[in-house]
Amino acid sequence: MDREKIVQELQFKAVRSSGTGGQHVNKVSTKIELSYDVFTTNALSEDEKERVLLKLKNRLAKNGLLLLQCDESRSQHKNKELAIKRFFDLIENAFKVPKKRKATKPSKASVERRLKSKKKAAQKKANRTKPDLD
């Protein structure tokens, strides 16, 4: 993964932020929309593309665009930096391969403890019944 190449392929669009505010909100475009085309990128290898498409399929548009928005700050430049940081966090998390789970058995002591507690609970409930007076 070549960060410089990826940053060059990123497309930014500044739009007006939603929400409350005064005159400033209505005339300044501080919200950043970042888009990245996963299908046509040259910065990722084929394996990396497949991994991103698999892991981020719920975040991708139908045409393969990965879209992110940031309107946390009142500064367009700060929002751009935040969007880029989030984008790289997403991509790096998509590249991580999860560890294989090793199947393990519970220890004999833990099985005994569980069965003992079950017997104790059953006995407690059995003691709640009315006594048999025969």
User: How high is the pLDDT of residue 125?
Assistant: 94
Find out whether 87 and 68 touch, Cβ atoms under 8 Å: yes
Which domains are delineated in the chain?
Answer: 3-95 (3.30.160.20)
**How far apart are the C-alpha atoms of 30 and 93, rounded to whole Å?**
27
pLDDT digit string, tens, across residues 18-68: 777 677 777 888 899 999 998 888 888 889 889 989 999 898 888 889 999
- Provide mean pLDDT across the span 6-20: 86
User: How high is the pLDDT of residue 11?
Assistant: 92
Find out whether 74 and 30 touch, Cβ atoms under 8 Å: yes
pLDDT digit string, tens, across residues 55-104: 998 988 888 899 999 988 888 999 999 999 999 999 999 988 889 999 99
Sign of torsion, CA 68 80 36 29?
A: positive
**How far apart are the C-alpha atoms of 27 and 24, rounded to whole Å?**
6
